[in-house]
Amino acid sequence: MVDERPDRFRIALWATNIGRPVNGIDGWVAGVEARLAEAKATGADILVMPEYAAEQWLSFAPPGLTGAQEIPWMAEQSAQALAALRDLPARYGLALLAGTMPVPDESGDTDAPWLNRAWLLLPDGRCIAQDKLCLTPAEKDPESWNLSTGTRLRLVTWKGVRIAVVICLDVELPALAAQLAPARPDVILVPSQTGRLAGYHRVFSCAKARAVELQAAVAVCGTIGAAAYGEDRPGTVSGCSLFLPCEERLGSHGRAAEIPPITDHDGPGPLLLADVPLAALDALRSGDAEVWPGAWDASGITIEEEAA
């Protein structure tokens, strides 16, 4: 049975405060469930958490973990966390993008044995994994987090809405968007983590560009604060935004809703509610956009360098 496509799709974006200690996986899941209940009460269709939301688990990690030991330890907790989350979307009737968490890379094709994986959990029982495709230098460092990359971008249809999960740095890459464009996604979900304001602006500015390029809604949220583990741990800075194509009928500026970047929060982190105008996006992609050329990959263009 094909879900009937709604006119609007409501997203709850949670800029998670990873500096708030939790007393174990059960405590962390209880916090997620409380946010799901809050999002449900507002009529949201999906709750989105950021990249490395799982770093909050370090607040109950054994003392003395080195940087290279943090990912393996978090990966050991990920199966329990996922199992505890699995039934919540059906219970509350809305989807959950549970941020990202390290998981073992079982392919055996690399010396980097861990993946940075997002989990999209749907009320119909589906559990869709999306691995990060392009890593930062710190994520690739064998002396630090030592992660490997995924090789596939999954497109999911739920409630008639075509959804892709594009993790942090991946949204900065136009080549990936060019591959995705012919599939005509409606919503791009971007879980992110950035340690500096420059990183926040790179991710969020590129997310806005992808909304223009794809004539799609792009929803971004990141972590705030520093994991409660050890001293002088670098913090994170982010916020939440929903970007739309820069079209007059959508307000011209492309920024549908946002919480500006912050570095800390007294509670679990702010929640942003934003509506994706699906019917308007359909009309734009069907010929109402002012100048959009459709999916365009520059395949017929030749770059020529003039002699000095």
Look up the CATH number of the domain holding residue 34. Answer: 3.60.110.10
Q: 23 lies in a domain? A: yes
pLDDT of residue 230: 76
Which amino acid is located at 277 in the chain? P
pLDDT of residue 196: 97
pLDDT of residue 99: 97
pLDDT of residue 1: 45
Domain total of the chain = 1
Q: 252 lies in a domain? A: yes
Q: 101 lies in a domain? A: yes
Question: Could you tell me the CA-to-CA distances from 259 to 9, 220, 262 in Å, in that order?
Answer: 19, 10, 9
**What residues make up the domain containing 173?**
8-288
Q: 92 lies in a domain? A: yes
pLDDT of residue 231: 73
Q: 112 lies in a domain? A: yes
pLDDT of residue 110: 67
Q: 241 lies in a domain? A: yes
pLDDT of residue 297: 85
282-291 long-range Cβ contacts below 8 angstroms, 24+ apart: 284/215, 284/245, 284/247, 284/249, 285/184, 285/215, 288/249, 289/215, 289/245, 289/247, 290/247, 290/248
Query: Which of the residues in the chain have pLDDT under 70?
Result: 1-3, 109-110
Supply φ then ψ for residue 179, to 5 degrees.
-70, -35
Q: 83 lies in a domain? A: yes
User: Nearest-CA neighbor of 46 among 281, 271, 236, 285?
Assistant: 271
Q: 34 lies in a domain? A: yes
